[in-house]
Structure 1
Amino acid sequence: MKGNLLAQRLKNIKVVGLGQASFDFLGRLPAYPHEDHKAELAELTTGCGGPAATAIVTLSRLGVGTSFIGAVGDDRFGAEIVGFLETEKVDISFLRSIPGCMSQVAFIAVASSGSRTIFWHPGTAPSPEPFEIDLSPFTGARVLHLDGLKIEASIAAALQAKSMGMTVVLDAGTFREGTNRLLPLVDILIASESFAVPLVGNTSDAEAIKALAAFGAARVVITQGAAGSIGFDGGEIIRQPAFHVKTVDTTGAGDVYHGAYIYRFLTGAGMSECMKFASAAAAFKCTISGNLKGVPNLEQVLEIMNHAK
Structure 2
Amino acid sequence: MSIACLGITVLDRIQRVASLPTTGGKFVAKDYFEVGGGPAATAAVAVARLGHDVDFIGRVGCDGVADTMLTELAGYGVGVESCVKIQNASSSFSAILVDDEGERMIINYQDPSLSRDPKTLESVDFSKYNTILTDVRWIEGAKYALEQAKINNIPSVLDADLTPEPIDELVQLADHVAFSEPGLEKFTGETDPIKGLKIAQERTEGKVYVTVGSKGCYWLENGELKHQSGLKVDVVDTTGAGDVFHGAFAVAVAEKMETRQAVQFSNTVAALKCTKRGGREGIPSRNDVNVTLSKAD
1:299 maps to 287
Which amino acid in structure 2 is aligned with residue 20 of structure 1?
I
- Look up the SS of the partner of 2:158 in the other structure: strand
Comparing 41-50 with 296-305, greater Cα deviation is found at: 296-305
Per-residue CA shift, 1:168-207, capped at 9, x if unaligned?
A: 2110001543311222111100001122223433354332
Q: Check whether the contact 1:21–1:81 (CA below 8 A) recurs between aligned residues.
A: yes
- 2:106 pairs, out of 115, 118, 128, with 118
Which amino acid in structure 2 is aligned with residue 161 of structure 1?
A
Deviation, 1:307, is 4.0
Q: Check whether the contact 1:25–1:45 (CA below 8 A) recurs between aligned residues.
A: yes
- Look up the SS of the partner of 1:246 in the other structure: coil
2:53 maps to 65
1:65-144 mapped onto 2 (5 Å cutoff): 65-124=53-112, 126-134=114-122, 137-144=125-132
Question: How many pairs does the alignment contain?
Answer: 297
Per-residue CA shift, 1:101-152, capped at 9, x if unaligned?
A: 2111111100000000001111355245122222652442121111122222
Per-residue CA shift, 1:4-43, capped at 9, x if unaligned?
A: xxxxxxxx6x211111001111111112245332221111
Change over 3 Å in CA distance of 1:30–1:124 after alignment to 2 = same
1:5 maps to none
Comparing 278-287 with 261-270, greater Cα deviation is found at: 261-270
What do you get for the CA RMSD once the two structures are aligned?
1.9
- 1:227 pairs, out of 215, 222, 235, with 215
Q: C-alpha separation between the residues in 2 aligned to 1:269 and 1:120?
A: 34
Change over 3 Å in CA distance of 1:136–1:20 after alignment to 2 = closer
Change over 3 Å in CA distance of 1:217–1:287 after alignment to 2 = farther
- Look up the SS of the partner of 1:194 in the other structure: helix
- 1:190 pairs, out of 165, 178, 194, with 178
Q: C-alpha separation between the residues in 2 aligned to 1:50 and 1:19?
A: 8
Per-residue CA shift, 1:145-170, capped at 9, x if unaligned?
A: 11122222221221122101111211
Per-residue CA shift, 1:197-242, capped at 9, x if unaligned?
A: 2343335433221221222243211000121111123253221111
Q: C-alpha separation between the residues in 1 aligned to 2:116 and 2:140?
A: 9
Deviation, 1:98, is 2.4
1:247 maps to 235
State whether structure 2 residue 76 is matched by structure 1 residue 54: no
Per-residue CA shift, 1:233-261, capped at 9, x if unaligned?
A: 32532211111100000000001000111
- 1:271 pairs, out of 259, 267, 273, with 259
Which runs of no fewer than 5 residues in structure 1 stay unpaired? 1-11
TM-score (norm 2): 0.93
Which runs of no fewer than 5 residues in structure 2 stay unpaired? none
Comparing 262-271 with 34-43, greater Cα deviation is found at: 34-43
Q: C-alpha separation between the residues in 2 aligned to 1:218 and 1:85?
A: 30
Q: C-alpha separation between the residues in 1 aligned to 2:95 and 2:5?
A: 23
TM-score (norm 1): 0.90
Which amino acid in structure 1 is aligned with residue 252 of structure 2?
R
State whether structure 2 residue 226 is matched by structure 1 residue 238: yes
Q: Check whether the contact 1:16–1:144 (CA below 8 A) recurs between aligned residues.
A: yes
Q: C-alpha separation between the residues in 2 aligned to 1:263 and 1:22?
A: 22
2:23 maps to 35
Q: Check whether the contact 2:172–2:204 (CA below 8 A) recurs between aligned residues.
A: yes
Q: C-alpha separation between the residues in 1 aligned to 2:51 and 2:59?
A: 24
State whether structure 2 residue 259 is matched by structure 1 residue 261: no
Q: C-alpha separation between the residues in 1 aligned to 2:55 and 2:250?
A: 14
Comparing 41-50 with 25-34, greater Cα deviation is found at: 25-34
Change over 3 Å in CA distance of 1:52–1:127 after alignment to 2 = farther
Deviation, 1:49, is 0.8
Q: C-alpha separation between the residues in 1 aligned to 2:274 and 2:185?
A: 26
- 1:202 pairs, out of 175, 190, 201, with 190
Change over 3 Å in CA distance of 1:121–1:136 after alignment to 2 = closer
Q: C-alpha separation between the residues in 2 aligned to 1:162 and 1:222?
A: 23
1:171 maps to 159
Q: C-alpha separation between the residues in 1 aligned to 2:173 and 2:223?
A: 21
Q: Check whether the contact 1:73–1:124 (CA below 8 A) recurs between aligned residues.
A: no
